[in-house]
């Protein structure tokens, strides 16, 4: 490992990192959503502050009970259960966790070391909170440079600087992600669709299709069974829609009882086939709410995305076909004019 650096050299290193961070925050890539580089710089800041060999910054996905690295030195993204490891312990106990003898610590997961040959000698993990004090992630540094391990007082104090900055950035990132997700169905919403379009779909080089669909006679469901039952139907339908698409495809709650599905690498015939499978699954399913069994059907309009049209114009094509499906009897798929 490298020798410990002087205070002057550390200060210069910190200044260099902050300059990199400033430049990255203003970059075009960061403006269009490619801001994971910012978290990599944050990880480098924490590593430098405590003079560690490696650092990782973890986001806590409470909905799926997962810990996900937004940045990690020397490795690709890691996803683990939030109940495991020293990071999981730090979150569960809401305190900094330190060990200078990890292989004898029952919470240390040595699987990565066994796979890569890396030898872990010391670890410090700090929970990261938002402005309300709720834990949203963790900062981990590994292997103190030079002789000895991490100091519980001094290194925790230093790492708290990076943890605080990362907490503010991660809170902003989580707030943006939450604003793009429908709270009832947990699908992405229309804002999420337009965000994905800017980051992914707009620069596509392969074919892509869209399906727009809605629940037939949904107002009648609300009028007959009540709005809580209507919400249950929306959740029921959303789960079926999400289960019938491939990894990499997306379904969005467009508004009310209307949904949009984006299929990458699929032409309009492929989209129609997917829509038909969904239509049959919805028709054959039963939504159970309290003591009631509610059945619904859906209508679908499909289009292959035309790069010469705006996203709004492409959706209008699919929406016009959905309108025809509803006008000509409902519970059907229309994929051509």
- Maximum alpha-carbon separation in the chain: 78
Alpha helix ranges (H) inside 60-118: 85-93, 111-116
Each residue's pLDDT tens digit, 79-115: 889 999 999 999 999 999 999 999 999 999 888 788 8
CA dihedral 36, 40, 43, 45 (to 10 degrees): -120
Which positions ≥6 away from 151 have C-beta within 8 Å?
none
How many Cα atoms occupy the beta-carbon half-sphere of 147 within 13 Å? 0
Report how far residue 261's alpha carbon sits from residue 26's, in angstroms, rounded to the nearest whole number: 33
Each residue's pLDDT tens digit, 288-319: 999 999 999 999 999 999 988 888 999 999 99
**Closest to 246 measured CA to CA, from 268, 225, 263:** 263
Q: Report residue 55's pLDDT band, with 50, 70 and 90 as the boundaries.
A: very high
Q: How high is the pLDDT of residue 115? A: 81
Each residue's pLDDT tens digit, 136-168: 999 999 999 987 899 999 999 999 988 888 888
**Residue 265, phi then psi, degrees to nearest 5:** 75, 15
- Whether 35 has a pLDDT exceeding 70, the answer reads no
- Whether 279 has a pLDDT exceeding 90, the answer reads yes
Q: Report residue 30's pLDDT band, with 50, 70 and 90 as the boundaries.
A: low
Query: What mean pLDDT do residues 255-267 have?
Result: 95
- Whether 36 has a pLDDT exceeding 80, the answer reads no
Query: What mean pLDDT do residues 70-85 have?
Result: 83
Q: Do 136 and 60 touch, CB atoms closer than 8 A?
A: yes
Lowest mean pLDDT among 6-15, 18-27, 239-248: 18-27
Alpha carbon of 217 to those of 222, 228, 283, 295: distances in Å? 9, 16, 13, 11
Place of tokens 């129609």: 272
Active site residues: 257
**Closest to 282 measured CA to CA, from 247, 242, 255, 225:** 242
Q: How high is the pLDDT of residue 4? A: 60
Per-residue exposure over 163-172, b if at least 16 CB sit within 10 Å of its own CB, e if not:
bebbbebbbe
């Amino acid at each position: 490992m490298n020798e410990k650096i002087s205070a002057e050299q550390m200060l210069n290193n910190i200044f260099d990192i902050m300059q990199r961070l400033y430049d990255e925050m203003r970059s075009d890539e960061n403006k269009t959503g490619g801001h994971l580089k910012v978290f990599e710089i944050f990880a480098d800041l924490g590593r430098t502050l405590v003079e560690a060999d490696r650092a990782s910054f973890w986001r806590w996905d409470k909905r799926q009970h997962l810990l996900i690295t937004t940045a990690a030195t020397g490795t690709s993204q890691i996803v683990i259960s939030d109940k495991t490891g020293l990071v999981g312990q730090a979150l569960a106990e809401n305190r900094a966790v330190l060990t200078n003898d990890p292989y004898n610590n029952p919470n240390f997961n040595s699987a990565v070391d066994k796979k890569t040959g890396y030898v872990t000698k010391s670890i410090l993990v700090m929970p990261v909170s938002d402005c309300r004090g709720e834990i949203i992630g963790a900062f981990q540094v590994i292997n103190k440079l030079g002789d000895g391990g991490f100091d519980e007082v001094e290194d925790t104090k230093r790492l708290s600087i990076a943890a605080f900055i990362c907490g503010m950035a991660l809170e902003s990132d989580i707030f943006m992600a939450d604003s793009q997700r429908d709270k009832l169905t947990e699908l992405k919403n229309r804002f999420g669709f337009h965000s994905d379009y800017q980051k992914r779909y707009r620069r596509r080089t392969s074919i892509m299709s869209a399906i727009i669909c809605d629940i037939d006679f949904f107002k009648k469901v609300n009028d007959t069974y009540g709005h809580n039952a209507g919400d249950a139907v929306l959740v029921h339908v959303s789960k079926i829609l999400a289960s019938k698409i491939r990894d990499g495809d997306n379904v969005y709650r467009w508004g009310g009882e209307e949904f949009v599905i984006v299929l990458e690498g699929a032409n309009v015939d492929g989209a129609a086939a997917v829509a038909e499978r969904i239509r049959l699954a919805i028709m054959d399913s039963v939504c159970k709410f309290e003591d009631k069994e509610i059945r619904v059907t859906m209508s679908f309009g499909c289009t292959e995305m035309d790069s010469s049209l705006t996203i709004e114009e492409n959706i209008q094509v699919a929406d016009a076909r959905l309108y025809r499906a509803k006008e000509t009897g409902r519970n059907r798929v229309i994929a051509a004019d």
